């Protein structure tokens, strides 16, 4: 099922008592911002405005605990045809150790608007095993990939 321009297909899945949902209306933006800006190594200092802009231009994924509260999050930057970049994945500490991040990384590929995507990417400093469980592998030719460093110190 493909959405028409301006429409959104809400995708949901269940794992144990948890629900994964792409319903933007369920997002706890304050909790997502608090974690990313304060507790992640990759988005320290992220402003609420930066996060909101990123959310507005991404497919968002929330994982919700049995009580409906946010348990985890991720987002996909994609063209919905061939390429998708999974990023900002986290599980809140009280929900860790249950396989939720691996489940998110795997299950989101079943979203009806992403089934034609053939090139999935992500970056991680320390969670390789989490994503390997979801089928991710090191890039076969990392020498082919390039990036623009944030500053000269990052080069």
pLDDT of residue 1: 53
pLDDT of residue 155: 47
pLDDT of residue 154: 53
Cα dihedral value 22, 25, 26, 27, nearest 10: 80
What are the mean pLDDT values of the chain's consecutive 10-residue runs (155 residues total)? Answer: 65 97 97 97 96 96 98 96 97 97 97 95 93 92 87 54
Q: Which residues of 33-58 are buried (b: 16+ CB within 10 A; e: fewer)?
A: bebbbeeeeebeebeeeebeebbeeb
DSSP state of 112: T
Look up the CATH architecture of domain 12-138. Answer: 3-Layer(aba) Sandwich (3.40)
């Amino acid at each position: 099922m493909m959405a028409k321009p301006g429409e959104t297909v809400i995708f949901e899945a269940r794992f144990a008592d948890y629900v994964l949902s792409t319903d933007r209306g369920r997002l706890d933006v304050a909790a997502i911002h608090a974690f990313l800006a304060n507790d992640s190594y990759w988005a320290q200092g992220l402003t609420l405005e930066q996060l909101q802009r990123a959310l507005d231009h991404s497919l968002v994924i929330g994982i919700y605990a049995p009580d409906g509260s946010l348990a985890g999050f991720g987002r996909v930057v994609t063209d919905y045809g061939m390429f998708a970049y999974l990023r900002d994945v986290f599980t809140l500490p009280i929900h860790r150790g249950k396989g939720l991040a691996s489940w998110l990384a795997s299950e989101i590929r079943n979203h009806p608007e992403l089934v034609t995507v053939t090139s999935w990417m992500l970056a991680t400093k320390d969670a390789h095993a989490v994503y390997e469980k979801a089928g991710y592998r090191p890039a076969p030719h990392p020498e082919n990939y390039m990036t623009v460093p944030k500053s000269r110190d990052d080069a």
